[in-house]
């Protein structure tokens, strides 16, 4: 199975900060990676797919990059509504797997 | 408006069975693969399985943790996708989400829409 390691698992940041989350795959997955945002009591929301394609309706302050084994999700200027938990998922091969999550909290 | 509405969750004893349903509306169901994803209380996301469409003979995929115990099916006439869960274990306790997959280039599929989830609790 492909393991995804997210870092950090927790980060504290202020409104306006630039935030970067990393997702490392245990083997190459080309660009078959997605990023989700999850808020308490709500379903996850797709932010980025194919490693760098912004899902329709998602603010442009979110961006994704990477291929192979290393990927990043960047929020260029953190907004109050962005405090949430973020997950990566590989869709390269079965079983599909998720990273452990990164919780972004207000400093 | 795309809607996915899960139902069928509840409390069940270890070893018991439960069938979850996910009713779809607002899109052409037959054009989409569907996945189930779960989240145990306070834990991360775990992919459960996939149901492909009619052109792909409704084939399925499963996580190792549920293979042989869970079965995914779909009824395009309803239109709904189902998760039959047998031989339930306490570690199956989770919120179960159904997701719609969108096709992207190079035979890749991404969950672009999620239901609100239904809670399954396995406990004696």
Q: What confidence tens digit (pLDDT) does each residue in A5-61 have?
A: 999 999 999 999 999 999 999 999 999 999 999 999 999 999 999 999 999 999 999
pLDDT in tens, A94-105: 999 999 999 999
A41 to chain B: nearest residue by CA? B116
Res. A87 pLDDT band, cuts 50 70 90: very high
What radius of gyration do chain A's Cα atoms show? 13
* A35 within 8 A of A52, measured Cβ to Cβ: no
Distance CA A94, CA B77 (A): 28
From chain A, the residues in CB contact with B105 under 8 A are 50
pLDDT reading at A86 higher than 80? yes
- Nearest-neighbour CA in chain A from B53: distance (Å): 17
pLDDT reading at A66 higher than 90? yes
Predicted pLDDT of residue B57: 96
φ/ψ region of B66 (left if φ > 0, alpha if ψ in -120 to 50, else beta) reads alpha
B65 to chain A: nearest residue by CA? A95
Are B45 and A36 within 8 A, CB to CB? yes
Predicted pLDDT of residue B106: 73
Which of B64, B102, B108 is the closest to A95 by Cβ? B64
Is the four-CA dihedral B35, A74, A26, B105 of positive or negative sign?
positive
Predicted pLDDT of residue B104: 86
Select from B37, B48, B110, B115 the residue whose CB has the most chain A CBs within 10 Å, as the one to mutate to test that interface. B110
Predicted pLDDT of residue A44: 95
Distance CA A4, CA B96 (A): 21
What residues of chain B score a pLDDT lower than 50?
Answer: none
């Amino acid at each position: 199975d492909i393991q995804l390691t997210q870092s950090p698992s927790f980060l504290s940041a202020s409104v306006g900060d630039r935030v970067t989350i990393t997702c490392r795959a245990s083997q190459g997955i080309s660009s078959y990676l997605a990023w989700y945002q999850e808020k308490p009591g709500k379903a996850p929301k797709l932010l980025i797919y194919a490693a760098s394609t912004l899902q329709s309706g998602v603010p442009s302050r979110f961006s994704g990059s990477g291929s192979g084994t290393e990927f990043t999700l960047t929020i260029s200027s953190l907004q109050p509504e962005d405090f949430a938990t973020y997950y990566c998922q590989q869709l390269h091969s079965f079983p599909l797997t998720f990273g452990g999550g990164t919780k972004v909290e207000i400093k | 408006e795309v809607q996915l509405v899960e139902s069928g969750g509840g409390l069940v004893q270890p070893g018991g069975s439960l069938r979850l349903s996910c009713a779809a509306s607002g899109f052409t169901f037959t054009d989409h693969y569907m996945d189930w994803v779960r989240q145990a209380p306070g834990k991360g996301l775990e992919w459960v399985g996939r149901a492909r469409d009619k052109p792909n003979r409704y084939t399925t995929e499963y996580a190792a943790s549920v293979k042989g115990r869970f079965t995914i099916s779909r009824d395009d006439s309803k239109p709904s996708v189902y998760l039959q869960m047998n031989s339930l274990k306490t570690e199956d306790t989770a919120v179960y989400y159904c997701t719609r997959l969108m096709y992207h280039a190079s035979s890749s599929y991404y969950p672009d829409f999620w239901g609100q989830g239904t809670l399954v609790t396995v406990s004696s």
